[in-house]
A and B are shown apart, each in its own frame.
Chain A
Amino acid sequence: MDQNPDIALLEELEAQRDLHNLNTRYCRGADRMDAEMLGSVWTRDAQVDCGAFKGPAQEFTTAVTTPDAVRERSYHAISNEYYEVDGDTARGEVYLIAISTLVENGSKNDQWIGGRYLDTYKREDGAWKIATRAFVMDWNMNKPTTAVWDEGLFGMIKLRGTRDRSDPVYALLGAQA
């Protein structure tokens, strides 16, 4: 335990920053379908409960980073990050709006899910990791896809997100992505 109260405050701020970065990394790993990145956010024995999946986080990672015919893209936008840090453990609530495009019965639909991650975190080997994550759904909205990719203003935006390592974020952040 550090005796200097200023250092203790500094460590608290750094923990809040690190937990924020952990959650942005989770979103990036999920949206890029990067098994290594998403796999790096968990403690060794982490558990996930998100309704359709309940079990070890590494199995969850494999499941959501394996290409499937239904989910064409995803966008995990988080906010309202609230963390309570207690030494090497922490609890948190993080709001999520997840937008996905689903290919179902030959048609494309946009799925919006609003909800919260209810988490516990642990510092493992000096780095903050998610120890348990439970997802709570608060609302959802489903609409036929109306995305425009090739015309108008949207068509002019030539840089596009991908669900693999060709996404521009890897060129930007390199090994720190």
Chain B
Amino acid sequence: MSTDASARIRALADEQAIHAQMCHYIQAIDRCDVELLKSTFHPDGSVIFGVFDGNAMDFCAWDIPFIRDNLLMGWHRVGNISIVLDGDRAMAESYMLGNAAAALPAEYGGGVINCPDGLRYHDVWEKRDGTWRMFSRKLIMDWNACWPFSGSTEGIYASFDTGRRDRSDPAYALGILR
């Protein structure tokens, strides 16, 4: 294999590795797995999320309890992943079309709301010691909605297995989360 072909294969592998880490990030926040979340950032990484700005490890330690305390459910779907490689660095934009539910505080009228949202992640990735992790991640808000919660656990919905926020989620039993 020529040097040129090797470099081209490595570029594809780098993009695939970043793609996999973006999936790990989502798995971590949806399963509330703080160790998995930390593994997607370098220790000196940082985030600008508005709800938290600062060191990435501090963000991870803050974010998981924050999700547990504030969201009844969170489900994040990442797409439009766009990666620009620059050696052992990469810039990336991705779209996150998510859904979450939250209990409204009494001053907002109480009840439960269902909030789909259209956000984007803007990242800088770095490969250190052969592993791609985020050096920075920013959260950009494009759109959101706040609808009355209409989810049900009755009837057909009672028959489904459902996602969990701990290691009892079926993804761990499958072995793709450890």
Contacts and interface: CB of A to CB of B under 8 A. Distances in A.
Given A17-B12, A28-B82, A157 B143 contact: no
Nearest to B148: A146
A99 B143 contact: yes
A83 interface: no
Given A10-B9, A77-B118, A152-B108, A147 B50 contact: no
Contacts of B118: 75, 77, 99
Given A13-B12, A99-B118, A153-B51, A161 B84 contact: no
Contacts of A31: 142
B91 interface: yes
Given A17-B12, A25-B82, A169 B141 contact: no
B86 to A, nearest CB: 9
A14 B7 CA distance: 12
Interface residues of A, number: 42
Contacts of B102: 153
**What are the nearest 10 A-B pairs in CB distance?**
A161-B142, A157-B50, A75-B118, A24-B82, A157-B141, A156-B50, A158-B50, A156-B51, A77-B97, A146-B146
Interface of B: 1, 5, 8-9, 12, 15, 48-51, 70, 77, 79-82, 84, 91, 93, 95, 97, 102, 108, 115, 117-120, 122, 124, 138-147
Contacts of A172: 91, 93, 122, 124, 138
Contacts of B70: 153
Main secondary structure on chain B at its contact with chain A?
Answer: strand
A21 interface: yes
Contacts of B77: 77, 79
Interface string A143-177: 10111100011101111110000011100110010
Contacts of B120: 161, 169
Given A161-B120, A173-B84, A14 B8 contact: yes
A129 B147 CA distance: 39
B1 A6 contact: yes
A157 B51 contact: yes
Contacts of A25: 82
22 contacts: A7-B5, A17-B15, A24-B93, A73-B142, A73-B143, A77-B95, A77-B97, A78-B80, A79-B77, A99-B143, A101-B143, A110-B143, A147-B144, A154-B141, A154-B144, A156-B51, A157-B140, A161-B142, A161-B143, A169-B140, A172-B124, A173-B93
Nearest to B146: A146
A33 interface: no
A160 B142 contact: yes
Contact of A148 (B5, B49, B144): B144
A64 interface: no
Contact of A110 (B12, B81, B138, B145): B145
Contacts of A102: none
Contact of A6 (B5, B12, B139, B147): B5
Contact of B140 (A24, A147, A168): A168
A76 B118 CA distance: 9
